[in-house]
């Protein structure tokens, strides 16, 4: 009996000890990873716009900012651990990667998915970021938030300030980990903006693109794995983050690049992990099969230059010293746009430019605009600007200038 009790106590002790240091997958995790190939193969066969289980979704083109697919993409929703995308970027912009963090009791006691931290553990910011983004450690999230923001409210303030700077109006953050809170929400669209911003940080991009990584806690090594089931299994995927809470259901943010098409696919509120995988793959494959990259920069420049050729002599500057005005377009922000193959013939460019002015006309003045539309939906508007200044004629020389103009007119008739 004594031996039996001792063995039982040892088993309980080992379970308690290791549960903080090992990251276990639940049954559904194992099911998805064992069947990931069949899920991907089945979901890749869809040619038509897919019907998805997820409550909200978006496919966002990183180069142009266009929405290629949307379902309730502007609806405010809980987003679970996809919150950690913003947590990571705040930390990367505010902290040094080699800073050593001493883990607090609050961080060590945080529930849900964990890296496995104990009170007074010492770990670098970089290793905490791997724990945050690979195994989705809520304990790592709190440790980082306390290190950077002093406390969780202070860090949440930083998160919301970053949202404001990105022009986001439908997001509000109160935690660094995304555990359910009625005041913690975003939209699929605004989460795409946050993710796009984060992916411009090379350190963030490197971390979310890592399948497994060995970190150090108190000088001891520990290997952790990425929870993103599509990373390494679907062509072109290079990140970014999974999420689950009872309130948010299953969530997945995916970055995928093939050729010069670079996409962010987000699904929020899927019923199961299999649904979120299936939905993500279906949306990604649908876009790559049905959209084509079109060089709209070339089309815009050609159309604008032809318009200038036909209209450059049509400007009239009342009381100006000249009618010769030079014009140019705003810089075109991107070269290529993914366009549905069925809509490529529906691209239209419209140019409006005022031709009658009263001097002075200043260099840099907006005098018109160009729009590019697809099936009557405007996707780009560019200003047309004057690139030279047309001064106003001086009053005392008004009649002499008129005389010069008249002489010039007569010469053009009789001596041309």
The arithmetic mean of pLDDT across residues 171-187, rounded, is: 97
Query: What residue has token string 């009790």?
Result: 5
In the chain, CATH 2.60.410.10 sits at: 312-414
- What's the chain's average pLDDT? 88
pLDDT score for 2? 54
Residues 6 or more apart whose CB falls under 8 angstroms from that of 217 comprise 116, 117, 121, 122, 123, 127
Question: Is 137 a residue whose pLDDT tops 60?
Answer: yes
Q: 381 vs 307, 310, 330, 332, 351, CA distance in Å?
A: 16, 21, 9, 9, 10
Banded pLDDT at 173 (limits 50, 70, 90): very high
pLDDT score for 389? 86
Active site residue 104: no
The arithmetic mean of pLDDT across residues 191-202, rounded, is: 98
Catalytic residue among 43, 54, 113, 136: 136
* SS3 of residue 254 by DSSP: strand
Distance (Å, whole) CA 39 – CA 8:
41
Residue 262 φ then ψ, to 5°? -120, 115
DSSP bridge pairs for 289: none
Active site residue 54: no
Residues 6 or more apart whose CB falls under 8 angstroms from that of 36 comprise 229, 233, 277
Lookup: tokens for 301: 């420049």
The arithmetic mean of pLDDT across residues 260-273, rounded, is: 97
Question: Is 12 a residue whose pLDDT tops 90?
Answer: no
37-83 pLDDT, tens digit each: 777 777 666 667 899 999 999 999 999 999 999 999 999 999 999 99
281-299 pLDDT, tens digit each: 999 999 999 999 999 999 9
**Helix crossing, 84-94 with 138-149: angle to 10°?**
40
CATH class as words, domain 312-414: mainly beta
**Helix crossing, 84-94 with 125-133: angle to 10°?**
170
In the chain, CATH 3.40.710.10 sits at: 26-289
Question: Is 317 a residue whose pLDDT tops 90?
Answer: no
Q: Which is more confident, 367 or 18?
A: 367
106-125 pLDDT, tens digit each: 999 999 999 999 999 999 99
CA 236 to chain CA centroid, nearest Å? 17
Q: 149 vs 99, 143, 238, CA distance in Å?
A: 14, 10, 29
CA 301 to chain CA centroid, nearest Å? 28
Query: What residue has token string 């946050």?
Result: 194
Contact predicate 148/161, CB 8 Å: no
pLDDT score for 27? 36
pLDDT score for 404? 63
Catalytic residue among 71, 78, 84, 273: 84
pLDDT score for 89? 97
Contact predicate 286/267, CB 8 Å: no
321-339 pLDDT, tens digit each: 888 888 899 999 999 999 9
Active site residue 84: yes
Distance (Å, whole) CA 377 – CA 383:
18
Lowest mean pLDDT among 192-196, 217-221, 401-405: 401-405
Residues 6 or more apart whose CB falls under 8 angstroms from that of 414 comprise none
pLDDT score for 410? 60
pLDDT score for 362? 87
Distance (Å, whole) CA 228 – CA 366:
48
Topology at the third CATH level for domain 26-289 = Beta-lactamase (3.40.710)
**Highest mean pLDDT of the ranges 157-171, 300-314, 395-409:** 157-171
Dihedral angle of Cα 310, 316, 321, 325, to the nearest 10 degrees: -40
Lookup: tokens for 98: 């080699």
Q: How many CB atoms lie within 10 A of CB 203?
A: 13
Banded pLDDT at 398 (limits 50, 70, 90): low
Catalytic residue among 81, 113, 171, 282: 81
Distance (Å, whole) CA 355 – CA 367:
8
Distance (Å, whole) CA 66 – CA 262:
11
Q: Which is more confident, 118 or 28?
A: 118
**Burial of residue 279 (number of CB atoms within 10 Å: 0-12, 13-18, 19+):** buried
Contact predicate 85/290, CB 8 Å: no
* SS3 of residue 295 by DSSP: strand
Question: Is 215 a residue whose pLDDT tops 50?
Answer: yes
Query: What residue has token string 């949202």?
Result: 163
Question: Is 275 a residue whose pLDDT tops 80?
Answer: yes
Question: Has this prediction a pTM greater than 0.95?
Answer: no
């Amino acid at each position: 009996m004594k031996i039996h009790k001792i063995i039982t106590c040892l088993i309980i002790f080992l379970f308690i000890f290791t549960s903080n240091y090992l990251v276990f997958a639940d049954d559904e995790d194992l099911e998805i990873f064992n069947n990931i190939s069949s899920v991907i193969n089945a979901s890749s066969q869809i040619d038509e716009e897919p019907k998805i289980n997820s409550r909200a979704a978006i496919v966002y083109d990183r180069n142009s900012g266009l929405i290629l697919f949307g379902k309730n993409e502007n609806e405010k929703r809980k987003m679970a651990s996809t919150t950690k995308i913003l947590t990571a970027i705040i930390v990367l912009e505010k902290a040094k990667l080699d800073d050593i963090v001493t883990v607090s009791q609050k961080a060590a006691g945080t529930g849900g998915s964990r890296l496995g931290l104990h009170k007074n553990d010492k770990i670098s910011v970089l290793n905490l970021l791997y724990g945050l983004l690979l195994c989705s450690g809520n304990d790592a999230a709190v440790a980082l938030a306390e290190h950077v923001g002093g406390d969780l409210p202070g860090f949440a303030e930083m998160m919301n300030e970053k949202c404001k700077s990105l022009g986001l109006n439908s997001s509000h953050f109160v935690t660094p980990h995304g555990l359910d809170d009625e005041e913690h929400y975003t939209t699929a669209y605004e989460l795409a903006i946050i993710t796009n911003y984060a992916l411009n940080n090379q350190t963030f991009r490197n971390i979310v693109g890592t399948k497994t990584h060995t970190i150090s806690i108190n000088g001891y090594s520990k290997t952790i794995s990425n929870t993103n089931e599509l990373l390494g299994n679907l062509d072109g995927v290079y990140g970014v983050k999974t999420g689950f809470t009872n309130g948010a259901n299953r969530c997945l943010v995916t970055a995928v690049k093939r050729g010069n098409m670079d996409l962010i696919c987000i699904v929020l509120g899927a019923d199961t992990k299999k649904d979120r995988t299936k939905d993500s793959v279906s949306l990604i494959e649908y876009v790559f099969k049905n959209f084509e990259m079109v060089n709209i920069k070339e089309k815009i420049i050609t159309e604008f230059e032809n318009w200038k050729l036909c209209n450059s002599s049509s400007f009239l500057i009342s009381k100006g010293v000249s009618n010769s005005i030079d014009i140019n377009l705003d810089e075109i922000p991107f070269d290529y746009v993914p366009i549905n193959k069925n809509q490529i013939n529906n691209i239209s460019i419209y140019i409006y430019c005022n031709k009658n002015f009263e001097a002075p006309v200043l260099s840099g003045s907006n005098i018109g605009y160009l729009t590019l539309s697809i099936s009557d939906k405007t996707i780009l508007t560019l200003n047309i600007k004057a690139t030279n200044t047309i001064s106003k004629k001086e009053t005392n020389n008004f009649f002499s200038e008129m005389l010069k103009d008249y002489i010039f007119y007569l010469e053009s008739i009789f001596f041309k």
